[in-house]
Each structure stands twice: as structure tokens, then as C-alpha cells.
Structure 1
Amino acid sequence: MADTPLLSVQNLTKHFPARNGRIVHAVEDVSFDVRRGATVGLVGESGSGKTTAGRSVLRLVEPTSGKAIFDGVDLFGLGAREMLAYRRRLQIVFQDPFSSLNPRMRISAIIGEALDTCGYPRGRARAERVAELLNLVGLSPDYATRFPHEFSGGQRQRIGIARAIAVEPEFIVADEPVSALDVSVQAQVLNLLGDLRKKLGLTMLFIAHDLSVVEYLCDEVVVMYLGRVMERGPSRQVYAAPRHPYTKALLATAPVPDPTRRRTRVPLQGDIPSPIAPPSGCVFRTRCPSAAPACSTTIPPVEPVGGGHHVACIRQAELFA
């Protein structure tokens, strides 16, 4: 893989207006890189801002500030017409396979609609391309004449993946693509995404709240909490030696497939605060078992701790001394 990232997200911020002039701080000063051919996992609890970050990168929601440098071009600086030229290169797989497919359209039309955006010819060539895509995602070409309600959740998600790869993108945001599926089906879809990544040379931003999923699929992980990055780095390093109390808490709640392996549980009390009124200083301090008085006044920068591993915690040095 090349050292130069295909995507470099720099200081991404997204605010939404709320009632009475208040602001929802959905994403705040988030930065990370995605190397060409790699898969980066964006993880955190519900309300952490990970989906908003992913959609902001694609400009499905307009960012408040920051940059998203894709192959040398800042996507946030492009006009609507200029951005349209990049839509083919960046695609998304949505979380809910039930609501992301038009129930009134046949599968051939759903996938064909994506092909229309790149001027793919109609007729026999279109039908052959749809059949090829269905084969790629492990479905029979005969399914092209059916409607979405005739499929299971896992099959619908495969159709959504076929639609995303139809235009031969370079980069895909997979927004919790297995969270709505049965556990028995999740592994099949994850294996499919891994196979397609190798076969098609895809680069992926994989959004999830399940850390075991991210550990299986992703080369690097970015842990978010209340709109901010808490920790990021190579997956193996972060999972083997987490440096942020929040990452440790998430890992403590993740299932362990090995019955002989034990993790020390870290207390994580309360609910995630409102993004309308985030805590001062470190946003995690109100739930952190290691919080100190300084945590209420200092916003910790995301700093390197070695080997591409970065942590946002003013106490991490003493905690891991």
C-alpha cells in the first residue's frame, strides 16, 4: 500500500442548529487518514458522531469546517457540479437494508439506476452487468427480476453492496452494514466485504459500534466519543494495548470468543451526554474512572504515543508509566 493516504480527513467539524439558537456538536475537530487499499474502522457508541463523520466526508451532509483531501483534492472545496464528478469514485453502503432499497423497483432497476449515473448503455449490456454484479455479491442473476420484499435482510444488504460497487468506486463508506442483520448472517456479509476489497482494490471507511467486527475487518481503528477522536492507530496495537479509558471500556464489553481468555472490566457509568451541551474539557471526563480535576478544563489533543498510535488523554502518560 502506498504511504500517501487516498483520503485525509483534517479537522472535520459538523454542527447542526437546534431550538432556541443552540447547536448540536455532532463532530468536532476530527482528523484521520485512510491509506489506499486499507480499511479504517470508525467506532463508538450511538451518538458518538461516527455516521455524521462518514456522511460528511461524502458530503451527504455538508460539513461546517475542515478538509477531506481525496486523491489530492479537497472535496469540501468543490462546487456541486464538480462534486458530481467524484460521486462515481466514492460510494456508500447504508445501515438499513430494508429502507435503503426502493420497494417499488425491481433489483435490475435498483442496480441499473446506479449504472445510469456513469452513462452505462441500456439493453443487453446493462442486463449482463447487473448479472455480473449479482454474481459478485453471491446472488443468482435470476434475482434481477424480483422486488426487495422477496429477500431476506442479508440478501438485501448484498443488493445494496452490488449497487455501491456498480460504478466501480475507489472508496466506500460502509455505515454499520451488518448491525441490522442476524448474527448468523453478519459474518457472511463481512467476509463478502473483505473479499470485494481484495478483488476490486477497494478502500473503505467501516463504521460500527461493535469492536469485534472492526477487529476482524479493519487495518486501523478510530475511536470516537461525543464527536471527538479519543484514540486511533493500527488495529492490532489498539486492541492489544488500548491507551484511552474509553477504548478500554468498549473492549471490556465486547464479547470474547475464546472461553479461556478474560478481560478486566472497566466501569463505564451513565449515558453519553447531550451533544447540545457537551462537558467542558475532555468530553469523556463525566464517565471516566481515571478523570482528574485538570480534565474539566483541558481539551486533550490527539497525540502520538508510538507506532502510529495516537491518544487524546492528558493522563495517559502517567496511567501507562
Structure 2
Amino acid sequence: MSVSVTREGRQETPLLSVQGLTKYFPARDGRIVHAVEDVSFDVRRGSTVGLVGESGSGKTTAGRAILRLVEPSGGRALFDGIDLFSLSARDMRAYRQRLQIVFQDPFSSLNPRMRIAAIIGEALDARGFPRGQRRAERVAELLTLVGLSPDHASRYPHEFSGGQRQRIGIARALAVEPEFVVADEPVSALDVSVQAQVLNLLGELQKRLGLTMLFIAHDLSVVEYLCDEVVVMYLGRVMERGPSRLVYGFPRHPYTKALLATSPVPDPTRRRTHVPLHGDIPSPIDPPSGCVFRTRCPEAIAACAGVVPPVEAIGGGHHVACIRHHE
């Protein structure tokens, strides 16, 4: 486990330290899907880390493997010093209250046959929260916390908009008072105007409740707004990671540069300085040799096919996996 240094000079052990996380899935033809390969990063207590990449990059699988919603194939996930991957199913249940997830699709993650009070009440059951008036009051508190009316507790999911349903999902996740929340593309299914509202809500809740978050997204512009640090993934591997100000201000990996080139620019007079990404992501069943990004990389050289570049520190907490970053 690494130790970071705060601005005040204090050493700080991360709340979550992911080390060499690997996840393989068997394919129907007997081959192996390399979903996540040797992924490592830390999440400081009270911070938000963005996990970014295109569809098929492995970011959602990584988030779910950390929570043991899918079983990892290798590596460690040290949460407050305890390796979650080494826990039995029974011991892991004791950690569920401290670790929660907000899913991408706010409609499919809510039972359409249950009223909102019952949906949030299920989470309160996990805490052993007593039924009755106090529970009704707690449900009302949670709905108010996420910007909804307590009166909404008696309604069904289909009576709400997408943004409202996502707020309900957030309320359910917060019902057990977790320390760590994985937000798995929580705004990707929402309209742009609603995305901003939900992002603002998550930012406010993170500060107000002191939450530690892993925010998964495919849009770098969304992550820039919310996250203290960024981990850029491609085809199951980490390409670049570091403080947001360095990854956005001084991107070093060609993939990060390409993602930035496709992000919206609010200033029409501002010119893009990076080349947009072309082509499709290769199959994780048969990933390219060497650097997995080389088949789409505008800066690739022959040597990129022969070596898997390690994720190396380049200063200030900034890391990059590219054999050309020294040039």
C-alpha cells in the first residue's frame, strides 16, 4: 500500500488501494476475455477518483470487481488496510454497509413493483434499521438529502424522470451511510442538462458527507468537473493516472490526448491541440501484443509491439504507460 503526502505535509494511507487487479472471463469458444489486466491505483479518504475510458475499456468491470460484485481473478483491494479479495463471502457481507454502488441505468436498478419507501427501506433493512415511524422519517430525510420531496416515498419508479430515478438510486446507496461509493456512469443515460444537476448533487454530497468515491465515466469532461484524480483505462489496462490538473493540463499518453480531443470545448475560439481517436477498440479476447493501444495510436513505433509498457511515475503523482514518454 502506498502512502501519499497531504498539502500540510502529513502522511496519509489511502482508504482504498487497488493493486494488480485482474479479471478474466471465459469465452464460449474456450478462449479468455482479458477484461481487466494488472490495474493499480489509490483512492485517498474523502477524495473522488475518476475511472475513464471508452466502452470495452474494463472500467465498469474493475469497479464491480473491487466491490466483489464480480469475483476478481487476481490482485488485491486494500480497504482501510483489509484485503477485500481475501475475505470469505460471510466476512464480505459485513463490509457491504461501508461500500455501495450507484448504477448506470436508474430505471432497471429499481424494482418497478415497489414503492420508493420500500426500495430505500430494503437498504435500511441491511442496517437493521427498525420499522415504523422512525424508518419513515429516515426515508424522508434521504429523499430530501438528494433533492426530492418526502411525498415521493409513496410513488413508484415509473412516475419519475430519469434524473429523479437516479437521485432515488443515490438515496438508496446512502441509506446505509457508506464510506466508499462506486458511481458507475451515473449520468451517461441522462440528458445533458440533467447530467449537470446530478453531478452537482454528487459533488455536494461528497463534501457534505465526507464520502470517498470512484466515479466511472467515458467522458473526460464529466470527470474533470468532479474528480481530484483520474485513471485512464484502455482495453483493461491503465494508460495514465494522476491528479486531474496534470492529466488534463499536461496529458502524456496518446490515448488521453485522443480522449481530450473528443471532449466538448465550451469556448468556440479555443483550438484543439490533440488528434481525435479513430477506429474501434480491439477485442479483449485477442488484445494486441505489446502496448494494447498501439493499433490505434498516432505515435506508435515498431518497438510498441514488443513490450507491455509499465505504468511509470513521471513526477507529482503523475504516471504513464508509454515507452515514448521519455522522448
Asked if Structure 1 and Structure 2 have the same fold, meaning a TM-score greater than 0.5 normalized by the shorter chain, the answer is: yes
In 1, the alpha carbon distance for the partners of 2:18 and 2:219 equals: 23
In 2, the alpha carbon distance for the partners of 1:74 and 1:59 equals: 11
How many residue pairs end up in the alignment?
318
Q: Check the 8 A contact 1:130/1:141 in 2, yes or no.
A: yes
Tell me how far 1:42 sits from its aligned partner: 0.1
Q: Check the 8 A contact 1:95/1:175 in 2, yes or no.
A: yes
Q: Where does 1:213-224 land on structure 2 (aligned, <5 Å)?
A: 213-224=222-233
Q: Check the 8 A contact 1:302/1:313 in 2, yes or no.
A: yes
Q: Check the 8 A contact 2:185/2:215 in 1, yes or no.
A: yes
Whichever residue aligns with residue 89 of structure 2, its letter is: A
In 2, the alpha carbon distance for the partners of 1:43 and 1:268 equals: 15
Equivalent position to 1:85, from 87, 94, 110: 94
Equivalent position to 2:143, from 134, 137, 147: 134
Per the alignment, residue 319 of structure 2 pairs with 310
Which structure 2 segments of 5+ residues have no match? Answer: 1-5
Equivalent position to 2:48, from 33, 39, 62: 39
In the alignment, does 2:158 pair up with 1:146?
no
Per the alignment, residue 191 of structure 1 pairs with 200
In the alignment, does 2:205 pair up with 1:205?
no
SS of the counterpart of 1:19?
A: coil
Tell me how far 1:255 sits from its aligned partner: 0.4
Whichever residue aligns with residue 166 of structure 2, its letter is: Q
Identity of aligned residues (%): 84
Tell me how far 1:260 sits from its aligned partner: 2.4
Tell me how far 1:265 sits from its aligned partner: 3.6
Q: How large is the Cα RMSD of the aligned pairs?
A: 0.8
SS of the counterpart of 1:15?
A: strand
SS of the counterpart of 1:92?
A: strand
Q: Where does 1:115-264 land on structure 2 (aligned, <5 Å)?
A: 115-264=124-273
In the alignment, does 2:115 pair up with 1:96?
no
Whichever residue aligns with residue 113 of structure 2, its letter is: R
Q: Check the 8 A contact 2:262/2:276 in 1, yes or no.
A: no
Equivalent position to 2:59, from 45, 50, 56: 50
In 1, the alpha carbon distance for the partners of 2:249 and 2:101 equals: 30
Q: Check the 8 A contact 1:59/1:76 in 2, yes or no.
A: yes
In 2, the alpha carbon distance for the partners of 1:93 and 1:270 equals: 31
Residues 201-227 of structure 1 show CA distances to partners (whole Å, capped at 9, x for unaligned) of 100000000111100000000000000
Whichever residue aligns with residue 198 of structure 1, its letter is: K
The TM-score with structure 2 as length reference comes to: 0.96
In the alignment, does 2:32 pair up with 1:23?
yes
Residues 243-294 of structure 1 show CA distances to partners (whole Å, capped at 9, x for unaligned) of 0000000000100112222212414231100000000000000000111111
SS of the counterpart of 1:168?
A: coil
Q: Check the 8 A contact 1:267/1:289 in 2, yes or no.
A: no
Whichever residue aligns with residue 288 of structure 1, its letter is: C
In 2, the alpha carbon distance for the partners of 1:212 and 1:269 equals: 19
In 1, the alpha carbon distance for the partners of 2:322 and 2:257 equals: 13
Q: Check the 8 A contact 2:258/2:275 in 1, yes or no.
A: yes
The TM-score with structure 1 as length reference comes to: 0.98
Whichever residue aligns with residue 125 of structure 1, its letter is: R
- Runs of 4+ in structure 1 over 4 Å off: none
